[in-house]
Amino acid sequence: MLLDRHDAILSDLDGVVYAGPHAIEGAPQALNAAQDSGVPVAFVTNNAGRSVTAVAEHLVELGVATDADHVISSAQAAAKLLAERCAPGTKVLITGAPALADCVAEAGLVPVYSQQDEPAAVVQGFNPEIGWAQLAEASYTLADPEVLWVASNTDLTIPKERGLAPGNGTLVGAVAQACGRTPIVAGKPESPIFHTAAQQLNSEKPLVIGDRLDTDILGANRANMASALVLTGVEDFSSVAAAEVQQRPTYIIETLAGIFEEYPKIVIRTEGSMVRAEGAGWNVEVEDGAVRAAGGGTEIDLWRVASQAWWAAHPHADHPVPMPEIIRD
């Protein structure tokens, strides 16, 4: 089965484990079964405003067997980046939530809140209570080019009950415009948070599971880790097939139960101007922008084979390339 190829799971949360306040059907059971089989699971979140303890408690309420030691946040990844670059006891200006300050302190650094404290670094994470004064303090501090700047993540939006709201990336952008600099980013889609999670589990062959191409899958590829795109969140078959090179997953699964199934072997051949992909009972050909499929099998296997064929026909795409409707012979 697919899971046998890996020694740990690094799972996203929203769209993979839960949607809003409710667990996605079967997700807690699948993750618990993976752990029962000896494959540890860590949860990777870009939320720097919520403590890992609070996240773990919510997961337990949903039926997931986990604890705070198995939740890795972008706040932790940011603190780790700071600790790697700063001496113990270094003062760090906090532009974010108390959870971020706690992570910085746990990393052996000293959280401060004013430029007058002479911080050697600034760390910025999401906090819905943050205001102009805190952003200005970061800008004043970062006017010194020697001051290190780390952002937990740069998500431009946050999904809320009433719609999309500005995320940490929007606030980071405001500071960047003021100081003319860009930060080092610790969270998804950058690789540090994935390396932090893998180290936490002593994993050499982790599987990143996510529902977003532009954060989870892109981040996994940047970290040189295998990835599974699960179709319980924001993506669908067509968006995955259209993915640019850096956002193409290793596997496509409909639900988390897919990690316990055999993943089809897909063989790619190029014959002149035609790209042919075969596997799981399907034969898919891509030529002159058309996609033709013959054979029989499951719908998801068709899309797995067709996606591989389409990707092989567009090996250097640096932007999404929509796949046309599949012609079934």
Q: Could you list the active site residues?
A: 12, 14
Q: Which of 271, 250, 231, 245 is nearest to 283 (CA)?
A: 271
CA angle 122, 184, 155 (to 5 degrees): 95
Q: How far is CA 193 from CA 32, 77, 272, 274, in A?
A: 23, 5, 42, 40
- Compute how many other C-beta atoms are within 10 angstroms of the C-beta atom of residue 13: 20
* The CA-based dihedral angle spanning residues 74, 78, 83, 84, taken in that order and rounded to the nearest 10 degrees: 100
Q: Are 317 and 329 in contact (CB under 8 A)?
A: no
CA torsion 66-69-72-77 (nearest 10°) is: 180
- Tokens describing residue 304: 């797995």
